[in-house]
Structures are given as structure tokens and as C-alpha cells.
Amino acid sequence: ASPISKVLELLGGMEEKTKKQGQEADDAIKEADDFCHRRSDDLGYSIKTSTTEKDDLEAAIAKAASKIESVATTLQETAQSIEANEAELTKATEVREKEKADFAASEKD
């Protein structure tokens, strides 16, 4: 084995090793690229789903706010009705007491 054949043999070994390392690097890059594409697709789907869910929740909030407003109006109307009924009851009680007093006075005569 001459020194030149030894150098050529070493160069051949280095070439094989370099090609193998290059292929491994290409495989790693392809795997990372595939991972990034899958992750991008997953995130895109997640964003779309979350956006739909957000829209649904906003609609539910708007519906609930409308219901709250409706119930508040009904509550206010009911409170006013109760207040009016209490005023009528007080007035009727006063009339009844006056009539009772008048009746009691007429009975004494």
C-alpha cells in the first residue's frame, strides 16, 4: 500500500462519512419540516375552532344581556305595580276605618 493509495482510501472514507452525515442532516431537516407543517395545520384548526367557539360565546352573552334587560324591565314594572297596590290598600284601609267609625257612631245614637 503506497502512501497515495492510503490517502485515496482515507479520502474515500471521508467522502462516505460526509455523504452519510449529509443524508442524516437532510432527513432531520425533512422531519423538522414535516413537524412544522403538521403543527401549523393543527394550530390553524385550533384557531378556527376557537374562533367559532368565541363567536358562539359572544352570541350567548348578547342573548343573556338581552334577557337581563327584559327581566330588569319586568322587575321594575312589578315593583311599580306593587307600590300602586300598596297605595290603594292603604287608601282602602283608611276608607274602611272611617266607615267603621261612622257606623260605630251611628250605632251609638
pTM: 0.54
What tens digit of pLDDT does each residue of 43-94 get?
999 999 999 999 999 999 999 999 999 999 999 999 999 999 999 999 999 9
Q: Please report which confidence band the pLDDT of residue 108 belongs to, taking 50, 70 and 90 as the band edges.
A: confident
Cα separation, 102 vs 108, whole angstroms: 10
Residue type, 20: K
Residue type, 87: A
Alpha carbons 33 and 71: distance in angstroms, whole number: 56
CA gap 60, 11 in Å, rounded: 72
For 7-35, write each residue's pLDDT tens digit.
999 999 999 999 999 999 999 999 999 99
